[in-house]
Amino acid sequence: MTTAPALSPALRGATTTTVDTPDGPFTVIEAEGAVLSSGWTALASELTGQIHPSIRSAVFDPAASSVQPILDAVARYYDGDFGAVRTVPVRQVSGPFRARAWDVLRTVEPGAPVTYLQYAERAGNPTAVRAAAGACARNAAALFVPCHRIIRTDGSLGGFRWGLPVKQRLLDREAGLPVPA
């Protein structure tokens, strides 16, 4: 595990931590106990672009940092407690539909992926399939806001910022299927 202080003048008071997972290095940008961005990369620079500008320009209290509960939830997830990540606070900013869609993502049960159409319906607008897909694409808090649980209507994976092999392993793991190392 590696932890670093603020990335730049932006995100003052935030910390960046990278841990090893079975799916590769997983990095979390955290401030005041909430995930600002996360994903399967060792490079924090691959995460900062997903953070809303209003958050990037905020000043956080480093004394309020609390990354250990976040890392514990990641470890519990990989130990089979897939609901552990649901308890982690996340801080994302967007318009009303996308914010609602991100909240809805956190209710999709592990092992029970839904289609983009079903996801749009759950988010309150069944005609907004493209907007629902956009919410997945702009989700900064991968794993904690589990956009990997959304699939195409034909059952294929669709896209995933961290690669389709990672998405497939996450879905297989949550379905109780064997996951190759």
Residue-wise pLDDT tens digits, 168-180? 999 999 999 998 7
Identify the band that residue 10 occupies on the pLDDT scale cut at 50, 70 and 90. Answer: low
Q: Is residue 22 part of a domain?
A: yes
The residue among 143 and 180 whose pLDDT is bigger is 143
Expressed as residue numbers, the domain containing 9 is: 2-87
Q: What is the CATH number for 129?
A: 1.10.10.10
CA distance 173 to 143: 13
As a whole number, mean pLDDT of residues 6-25 equals 84
Taking the C-alpha atoms of residue 27 and residue 145, their distance in angstroms, rounded to an integer, is: 15
Do 13 and 79 belong to one domain? yes
83 shares a domain with 6: yes
Tokens of 85: 């990540």
Residue 49 forms part of a structural domain: yes
Q: What proportion of the chain, given as a percentage, has pLDDT over 90?
A: 84
Q: Is 38 helix (H, G, I), strand (E, B) or coil?
A: strand
For residue 181, being part of any structural domain is answered with: no
Number of structural domains in the chain: 2
Interval 31-60: pLDDT, tens: 999 999 999 999 999 999 999 999 988 889
Same domain (yes/no): 142, 122: yes
Tell me if residue 20 falls in helix, strand or coil.
strand
Average model confidence (pLDDT) for the chain? 92
pLDDT confidence band for 6 (50 / 70 / 90): very low
* Among 55, 50, 31, CA closest to 39: 50
Q: Tell me whether residue 179 is in a domain.
A: no
pLDDT given for residue 58 in this prediction: 87
167 falls in which pLDDT band (50, 70, 90)? Answer: very high
Catalytic residue positions?
147
Which pair of structure tokens corresponds to residue 108?
Answer: 């999709």
Cα–Cα distance for residue pair 100/86, rounded to 1 Å: 15
Average pLDDT over residues 100-108: 96
- Whether residue 130 has pLDDT greater than 50: yes
Query: Do 127 and 78 reside in the same domain of the chain?
Result: no
Residues 30 and 10 reside in one and the same domain: yes
Instruction: Mark whether 7 and 80 lie in a shared domain.
Output: yes
Looking at residue 62, its pLDDT comes to: 86
For 99, 159, 164, 167, the CA distances from 135, given in Å and listed in that order, are 8, 12, 18, 16
The tokens of 69 are what?
């509960």
Other CB atoms within a 10 A radius of the CB of residue 51 amount to 24
**43 and 62 co-located in one domain:** yes
Residue range 13-39: average pLDDT? 96
Check pLDDT > 60 for residue 26. yes
Rounded to whole angstroms, the Cα distance separating 116 from 124 reads 12
- Separation of alpha carbons 49 and 40, rounded Å: 15
Judgement on whether residues 122 and 76 belong to the same structural domain of the protein: no
